[in-house]
Structures are given as C-alpha cells and as structure tokens.
Amino acid sequence: MSLSDSNEATASEETPLLDDDVRKHEEVYKRFRPSQKRVIVALISLAGLIPLFVSGTFIPSIPQIAKDLNTTGTNSIAVSLSILANAFGSLWWATYSSYYGRKPIYLTSIAIEAVGSLGVALSRNVPQLLVCRVLQAFGASSGLSVGIGVIGDIYKLEERGTASGIFFGAVLLGAALAPFVGGTTAHYYSWRGMQFGLCGFAIFCWILTLLVQPETSQPGARGIDKAREAGKKDGWVWLNPLKSLALLRSPNVLFLAMEGAFVLLTDYALIVPIAFTIGKRYGIHNESLLGALCIPLGIGNAIGAPLTGRISDWMVVKWRKRRGGIWVPEDRLRAALPGAAVMVPCSVLFSGLVTQCFRGVVIAVCVAFILPAIDTFGVAITNGVVAVIAWIGFG
C-alpha cells in the first residue's frame, strides 16, 4: 500500500460506518480464508527477511572483505550506499506496487536482488562491490515496504497491528540470526559464500512467490485497473516515487518518520561498528562471535514487535469505542511510549558505558556501598562478602 493509498484508506476509516458500509468493508477482507492469510504472511515474511539478511550478514564480514579487497575496514561506504539504496527502493517499489500490484513487484525486485547478490559474490574490487551492493539493496528493499502494504490489503483496521507485529517479529528474528549466519560463514568458509547463499535464497523466494502467493491488491484499487477502465492500453507508466514525501508536510507524519529513523539509528550505532568497538575492546576477531553479539538486539526486536502490535490493536479498539466509532491513527502510538521514552535511549546509553568502562563502573558502584556496609555490618562481614564475590569471579 503506497502512502497515498493509506491516506485514502484513513479518510474512510476515521468515520463511523453505516450498516451497508460495514458489510462491504468486511467483505473486502474476507476474500482470503484465515489459513490463506497465514500463508501469505509467511511468504511476505520470507521476502521481508531478505533486506535484513543483506545488511546483517554483511556487517560482521567487513574486516574480511577489507582484507580481501585491500581496502580499509573503517570505510563503511558500502553500508551507507546500501542504506540509501534501500530507502529509495522502498519508495520506488511501494509506489509501483500500488499501480501494478504486489505480486509483479515482488517478482521483479527479488530477481534484481538475486542478480545483485551474485555480483557482490563475484566482485574483485571496491567499485564492483559498491555497484553490486546498491543493486542488491535496491532489489531487496521491497520486502518491508510492499510487505506492510499486503498486510493492509488482507487485514481490517483492528487486526493490522497484530498481523504487522507477527510480520515484523518474524522478519526481526531473521535480523537476529543474520549477523551470526554471515559471520559464521565468513569465518569458516568465505564472505563470498554468504553472498552466493543470499542469491540462492532470493531464487527460492522468487519461486515461492510465483507459484504460491496470490495478488492481494483490493479489487479495482490498482492504478492499472483504473487505467483499463478508462480505456487505456497496458504498458509501462512512469510514476514519481518521491511524490509521497509530500506527506512529510504534515507535522504528525514528519515527527513519526523522524522518530522511526532515530530509533533505527540506535540499532545501526550498535551493530555496524561492532567489530571495532566490542570486538576490538575484548579482542574478538572471530566473525562468527561478532555476529553472535548481534543476536540479543534482534531477539529483543522479535519479541517486542508482536507484543506492541497486539497492544496497538487493543489501543485502537479501546479509544475508537470511547469516541463512538471514530478512529484516530495516533492512538496506536500509545503502545510505543514506554519503549521510545525509556528502553531505546537507555539501552544504547548503557551499552556504550559498559563497553568503554565496564570495570570502572562496577568498581565505582561497589565502592559507593563499601563504607555504608562497614558502618552497618562491620568490617568482617563486609570483607567476607567481598571475598565471596572474588570466589565467584574465580569460578
């Protein structure tokens, strides 16, 4: 679903529906049985894994790639370019999926990602690597933007949060495993082997999409359907993928986009330099272990996404009922407040402190309690507790 389509859907869903409208509204979302919807979500989750595997498997391999191509590991331009290509590609594929449909866009984009992955695997110098990384990321970028559009196609308003949470939960579980898989492959085989694997995975997803996934666009909603009704011939139509950025003129949309970017920045701040922060600090050079260090972050995302998705649906139902059937999109944000205000900023802050001065922090905290403990329990008991802690350290 493109942003313009979402705007139109919002306009109709913000107001109470009459009985006939309710019936028609329900019928649109009954085109697929619950079992079919689950299969569709599974398929788009596989496609959604691709962009995160493209980025996640590359990061722990950076030192090996730098050595292989005789460049510097601190130069992360390949990561930066792929992020930029992913951002533009998301807009591109979402815009064209609203015109041509979800399935054709999936088939086209996944094929491009497969070619890009093959190119990365065969790269012999930095320019080749950069060009192929851009192509790879551009093709992979449809996984998230078109995937969430499919959720909107098949699930009604009060079910989308839960369905989106399951989708993102499955995708982010892959994000937890991607650095470990990429690092393990790089350490025990080669970073090129991981890229060949991504090419094979893309081909597998392409075949499943072709044979199993139906077109989910709602009847008559595609741009090509409207063009046919107007008597126009099928063919390529140039669309402006940046047109939807005009929605950023709305403060609500702008601030939400900024918040999402800032939260994502905390993930990248922890993961991208991990070989040169935690790895360098503790002498970890094994790419497999470096990848394993990314697992906790991904697991947290995988657990949090379904949970907050379900809570956001609960918020929608609760506040819509309070307003007599009127829906306000911002109601979903109530589910994000604790995480955005406390968990995200505090976690990245403490991670930095622990990485740079863990020993000093522990000693400072302990020293702050030593004198009060002596005053309260005496020297013998206090030193006895410290001795036990030392034995724990020995253990």
pLDDT tens-place string over residues 186-219 = 888 888 998 999 999 999 999 999 999 999 998 8
Instruction: Answer yes or no: are the C-beta atoms of 205 and 50 closer than 8 Å.
Output: yes
Which has more pLDDT, 92 or 26?
92
Angstrom distances, CA of residue 296 to CA of 140, 143, 167, 179, 270:
24, 23, 19, 11, 11
For residue 39, which of 184, 216, 173 has the smallest C-alpha distance? 216
Closest by CA to 278, choosing from 188, 179, 187, is 179
- Enumerate domains of the chain plus CATH numbers: 3-224+245-327 (1.20.1250.20)
Question: Taking the alpha carbons of 64, 70, 76, 77 in that order, is the dihedral positive or negative?
Answer: negative
Most confident range (mean pLDDT) of 107-116, 189-198, 252-261, 372-381 is 107-116
Q: What confidence tier does 11 reach under pLDDT thresholds 50, 70, 90?
A: very low
Q: What is the pLDDT of residue 146?
A: 93
Give which of 57, 131, 47, 60 is closest to 90, Cα–Cα: 47
Work out the end-to-end distance of the chain between its first and last CA atoms, rounded to an integer number of angstroms. 56
98, 219, 251, 358 from 76: Cα distances, Å: 34, 44, 32, 27
Max intra-chain CA distance, the chain: 93
Q: Which of 57-71, 123-137, 342-356, 372-386 ranks highest by mean pLDDT? A: 123-137
Tally the residues of the chain.
395
Rounded to the nearest 5°, which phi and psi values hold at 345? -65, -40
CA-to-CA distance for 164 and 312, rounded, in angstroms? 10
Give the pLDDT mean for 115-136. 92
Query: Could you tell me the pTM of the whole model?
Result: 0.72
- As a whole number of angstroms, the distance between CA 185 and CA 192 comes to 9
Asked whether the predicted pLDDT for residue 111 surpasses 50, the reply is yes
Mean of the pLDDT values across residues 262-282? 74
- Among residues 353, 275, 264, which one has the least CA distance to residue 76? 275
Question: Which of 137, 142, 107, 104 minimizes the C-alpha distance to 119?
Answer: 137
Query: How much of the chain exceeds pLDDT 90, in percent?
Result: 22
Cβ distance 306 to 169 under 8 Å? yes
Residue 71 · residue 123 · CB < 8 Å: no
Q: What tokens appear for 137 in the block?
A: 């990321």
Question: Chain-wide mean pLDDT for the chain?
Answer: 81
The one-character DSSP state at 218 is P
Q: Is the dihedral of CA 363, 364, 367, 372 positive or negative?
A: negative
The answer to whether residue 39 scores a pLDDT higher than 60 is yes
Minimal CA–CA distance to 367: which of 384, 349, 382? 382
Provide the pLDDT for residue 367.
62
Average pLDDT over every residue of 3-19: 48
Q: What is the dihedral of CA 104, 161, 163, 83, to 10 degrees?
A: 50
CA proximity to 148, closest of 52, 41, 306: 41
∠ Cα 41 43 49 (to 5°): 100
